[in-house]
Amino acid sequence: MPGENIILLGVNHKNTPIEIREQIALSSGYEEPLAALKNISGLREYYLLSTCNRVELLLVADPLANIEEKVIHFLFGDRIPLDEAHRYLYLLYGQEAVHHLFMVAASLDSMVVGEAQILGQLKEAYRHAARFGCTGPLLNKLLHKSFSLAKRVRTETAIGSSAVSISYAAVQLAKKIFGNLKDKKVLLIGAGEMAELAAEHLVGQGVDEVIVVNRTLARAVDLAKRFRGKAVSSGELVTQLKHVDIIISSTNATDIILHKDEVKSVMRARMNRPLFFIDIAVPRDLDPRLIEIDNVYLYDIDDLSNVVEINKSERDKEAVKAGRIVDEETLKFQRWHQGVAVTPTIQALKKKMDEIAQGELDKTLSKMPQITDIDRKTLARMAEAMVAKILHDPLIYLKSESCAGRDNSDLKVTLVRELFGLTNEENGQKSD
Amino acid sequence: MEELTYLLFQVVLGTTFLATAAYLVYFVSQSKEIRKIARIIMVASGVLQTLYVVLRFALAGHTPITSQHEAVFFFAWATTWAYLSFRWRHTVKNFGTFVSAFIFCLLVISSFSEKNIDPLLPALQSAWLPLHGGISLIAYGFLSLAFCGGLMYLLLERELKNKKFGYFFPRFPSLDSLDQLNNHCLTAGFIFLTIGIVTGSIWAKQAWGTYWQWDPKETWSLITWFIYLVQLHQRFTVGWRGKRAAVMAVIGFAAVVFTFWGVTYLLGGVHSYAR
């Protein structure tokens, strides 16, 4: 049993329908949830990743602390009962957790395999966690490892080159619907990074105009300037629908901002020209029932994955290669982790001491053939007691709790290992 | 000479079969070279069909649309050239696969009926025959293109709405180009159909003494005409396009098929020459 548990817990686009994900998505930013997690005792280190496709927590917990339920409750709140939550959730430990993190970082777990956005999101999440002092030596090491792994995958495989991002998928669909995008107008609702990316892609395809709607007009004006488009206030949303063809929505709104009836009412004025809605917001911005209107096409972020599936096979080969790199790095990390883990160190230390004591005891006893069995046992007990007493303080030192969740156990482990001359090799053979 | 027409018909059938097969191979493989081959064979088939029509015209001394075989063949010929003329102006990805299969089916149907060249019935000896019959069949040609495009539209629209992308998805053109095709072919077909009905009416006045006598064929042509009229009217006024237009193209074509075959075989009437 390791000295601490690495636990990865989360929901993503594969396991969890968007209806559930949008109840979890942390739209208020990282600060609040990170602060809330601090209250869970037994958590040594943690970090939180929240993107449109996943919410994941990577935790380092005390081995005996049963924190899973508390964290699940934190994630799902009271809205979803615990046993139901378990169906949507993945809960991984130790090596599997590390493997999953690496898969995510390498963009192998992404909806669009090979897309580069995830690394940036990972780094941002880490920055937040580090600033709040939530990460410790283990997570620092683990996350930095995942960054370098992502880089390695990118350079050693061609997975990024044929990667299609969500925005690319959106362009593909738009072309399937409109054919030529040259005289089409795009409406951006809200100003997320993803939406901007998609708009950029569409501009690259030669769309006629980009119109930006935002709650704060100043932000809309800024963004519109970038695309040489125009900004309008959010009150004009429905009127704008008469002129535009492609709508990309990514607001932070918690409710639906565009309802079926509103869209239906403009279709007549549009002479039924098709409307293509892309909803990349989680929680969703657009009424899912829009799809029921003739000549209206609505895709939310999950649907876009299907489009991406079409180009998947080319990437599969590269994904296998990348998967191998992930496996390799997982193993390497595992070795390193075992090297710094507290429990194996304690075991190694005890073993070494016991061996020394036993060795010296045997040597001494062989020179004293005349003593009785009772004396032998007394001597052995003495040796044992000496070992135990010598080890007492180092073990206390190793096992000691660090304050405020900040954990410097790997420093301690390294120190003890050097002090007592414990090499990683002899430890590597032991498994937890 | 009649053997020659027989032979030519077999050649036409064979060539069109090859074109259809080539288009199918193209549909599966999406290889540009095969598409080129398929197009060339299709044009060859069009030329050969024209030759066959001309040859029969020369032999019979009138436009060859008076027997079931001739009328269906002429239908196929009209569809082929409607397609080639359309193809010359617009490109609709993989449309050829559907159209060539349709044309081949028509040719197969025409091959089953009697190919003899019969003397022309006295009632049909008129300059109106090529005008009324020919133009109506050309209208059918365009309307069948709209039907093929409508089917493709409905298939693709379903995939886009259900978000389940199957085999057809990457192989289909954009919805917009299919809608334009629908618009173009329905408009052209409707104009020809109107001319066909008007010329028929004038001919009826000369032959039967009345412009309109509610013969089943006349009634059903009118029904067909109204279906297309409604679609075109709605498109221009309230913008019936997309799925609705595609559905109308399919319904309209069903009416065409009924007018063409159903009336002749089921309802009879004075119009049932081409049996």
Tokens of A230: 């125009």
- pLDDT at position A429 is 39
Question: How far off is chain B from A196, nearest CA to CA, in Å?
Answer: 24
Q: How far apart are CA A313 and CA A139, in angstroms?
A: 34
Q: How far apart are CA A299 and CA A276, in angstroms?
A: 8
Tokens of A77: 């709140």
Q: What is the dihedral of CA A132, A136, A141, A147, to 10 degrees?
A: -20
Q: Is the dihedral of CA B240, B242, B248, B253 positive or negative?
A: positive
Q: Inspect the interface and report whether the beta carbons of A178 and B174 lie closer than 8 Å.
A: yes
Identity of the residue in B174, B239, B243 whose CB atom sits nearest the CB atom of A176: B174
- pLDDT at position A198 is 78
Identity of the residue in B160, B165, B239 whose CB atom sits nearest the CB atom of A273: B239
Q: Which of residues 209-268 of B touch A (CB under 8 A)?
A: 238-244
Q: Inspect the interface and report whether the beta carbons of A270 and B174 lie closer than 8 Å.
A: no
What is the residue-wise DSSP string for chain B? -HHHHHHHHHHHHHHHHHHHHHHHHHHHH--HHHHHHHHHHHHHHHHHHHHHHHHHHHHHSS-S-SSHHHHHHHHHHHHHHHHHHHHHH---TTHHHHHHHHHHHHHHHHHHS----PPPPGGG-STHIIIIIIHHHHHHHHHHHHHHHHHHHHHHHHHHHHT---SSGGGS--HHHHHHHHHHHHHHHHHHHHHHHHHHHHHHHHHHS-S----HHHHHHHHHHHHHHHHHHHHHHT---THHHHHHHHHHHHHHHIIIIIIIIII--TT----
A291 CB neighbours in chain B (<8 A) are 161
Q: Inspect the interface and report whether the beta carbons of B165 and A272 lie closer than 8 Å.
A: no
Q: Considering only alpha carbons, which residue of chain B is nearest residue A270?
A: B239
- pLDDT at position B167 is 80
pLDDT tens for each residue of A306-352:
666 655 665 677 788 888 899 999 988 887 777 667 777 888 888 89
pLDDT tens for each residue of B70-79:
999 999 999 9
Q: Is A307 on the interface with B (CB under 8 A)?
A: yes
**What number is the average pLDDT over the span A218-234?**
84
Q: What is the mean pLDDT of chain A?
A: 82
* pLDDT at A426 > cutoff 60: no
Which of B90, B158, B159, B160 should one mutate to test binding to chain A, selecting the residue with the greatest count of A CBs within 10 A? B160
Nearest CA to A402 out of A136, A144, A40, A93 is that of A136
Tokens of A219: 């932000």
What is the residue-wise DSSP string for A57-89? EEEEE-TT---HHHHHHHHHTTTS-HHHHHHH-
- pLDDT at position A163 is 42
* pLDDT at A28 > cutoff 70: no
Question: How far off is chain B from A174, nearest CA to CA, in Å?
Answer: 9
Other CB atoms within a 10 A radius of the CB of residue B33 amount to: 9
pLDDT tens for each residue of A288-298:
999 999 999 99
Q: How far apart are CA B169 and CA B173, in angstroms?
A: 9
Same fold, A5-162+314-337 and A166-310: no
Spatial contact of A90 and A59, defined as CB atoms under 8 Å apart: no
Q: Inspect the interface and report whether the beta carbons of B177 and A179 lie closer than 8 Å.
A: yes
Spatial contact of A129 and A30, defined as CB atoms under 8 Å apart: yes
Domain A5-162+314-337: state its class: alpha beta
pLDDT tier, A427 (very low <50, low <70, confident <90, very high otherwise): very low
Q: Is B167 on the interface with A (CB under 8 A)?
A: no
Q: Inspect the interface and report whether the beta carbons of B174 and A299 lie closer than 8 Å.
A: no
Q: Is A286 on the interface with B (CB under 8 A)?
A: no
Q: Strand pairing partners for A55?
A: A11, A50
Which residues lie below 8 Å from residue A203, measured CB to CB, with a gap of 6+? A186, A210, A227
Which residues lie below 8 Å from residue B32, measured CB to CB, with a gap of 6+? none
- pLDDT at position A280 is 83
Domain boundaries, chain A: 5-162+314-337, 166-310, 341-428
Nearest CA to A214 out of A239, A187, A241, A194 is that of A187
* pLDDT at A71 > cutoff 90: no
- Measured at the CA of B250, the angle between CA B27 and CA A263, to 5 degrees, comes to 95
The winner for highest mean pLDDT among A193-207, A210-224, A407-421 is: A210-224
Nearest CA to A5 out of A335, A343, A402, A330 is that of A343
The winner for highest mean pLDDT among A96-110, A113-127, A135-149, B93-107 is: B93-107
Q: How far apart are CA A271 and CA B226, in angstroms?
A: 22
Coil, helix or strand for A423?
A: coil
Spatial contact of A49 and A55, defined as CB atoms under 8 Å apart: yes
The winner for highest mean pLDDT among A38-42, A124-128, A335-339, B49-53 is: B49-53
Q: Inspect the interface and report whether the beta carbons of A180 and B243 lie closer than 8 Å.
A: no
CB pairs under 8 A between A and B: 57
Q: Considering only alpha carbons, which residue of chain B is nearest residue A302?
A: B163
pTM of the predicted structure, to 2 decimals: 0.66
Q: Inspect the interface and report whether the beta carbons of B174 and A177 lie closer than 8 Å.
A: yes
Tokens of A357: 């004591």
Q: Strand pairing partners for A299?
A: A278
Identity of the residue in B175, B177, B240 whose CB atom sits nearest the CB atom of A272: B240
Q: Is A291 on the interface with B (CB under 8 A)?
A: yes
What DSSP state is assigned to residue A117? H
Q: Is A309 on the interface with B (CB under 8 A)?
A: yes
What DSSP state is assigned to residue A402? P
Q: Inspect the interface and report whether the beta carbons of A309 and B243 lie closer than 8 Å.
A: no
Q: Considering only alpha carbons, which residue of chain B is nearest residue A271?
A: B239
pLDDT tens digits, chain B, 275 residues: what are they?
A: 778 888 999 999 999 999 999 999 999 988 889 999 999 999 999 999 999 999 999 988 888 888 889 999 999 999 999 999 988 777 888 899 999 999 999 999 999 988 888 777 777 888 888 899 999 999 999 999 999 999 999 999 998 898 877 788 888 999 999 999 999 999 999 999 999 999 999 999 988 888 988 888 889 999 999 999 999 999 988 888 889 999 999 999 999 999 988 888 887 776 766 54
* Catalytic center residues of A: 52
Q: What is the ipTM of this complex?
A: 0.85
Architecture of domain A166-310: 3-Layer(aba) Sandwich (3.40)
Query: What's the distance, Cα to Cα, between the start and end of chain A in Å?
Result: 5
A301 CB neighbours in chain B (<8 A) are none
> Which of A7-11, A104-108, A163-167, A191-195 bottoms out in mean pLDDT, i.e. has the lowest?
A163-167
Q: Is B163 on the interface with A (CB under 8 A)?
A: yes
Tokens of B229: 């009229």
Domain boundaries, chain B: 1-117, 121-275
> Which of A134-148, A161-175, B15-29, B231-245 bottoms out in mean pLDDT, i.e. has the lowest?
A161-175
Spatial contact of A44 and A132, defined as CB atoms under 8 Å apart: no
Q: Considering only alpha carbons, which residue of chain A is nearest residue B172?
A: A176
Which residues lie below 8 Å from residue A324, measured CB to CB, with a gap of 6+? none
Residue A353 C-beta-side C-alpha neighbours within 13 Å: 21
Q: Give exposure, A212-225, as e/b (b: 16+ Cβ within 10 Å).
A: bbbeeeeebeebbe
Greater confidence (B8 vs A71) lies with: B8
* pLDDT at A430 > cutoff 80: no
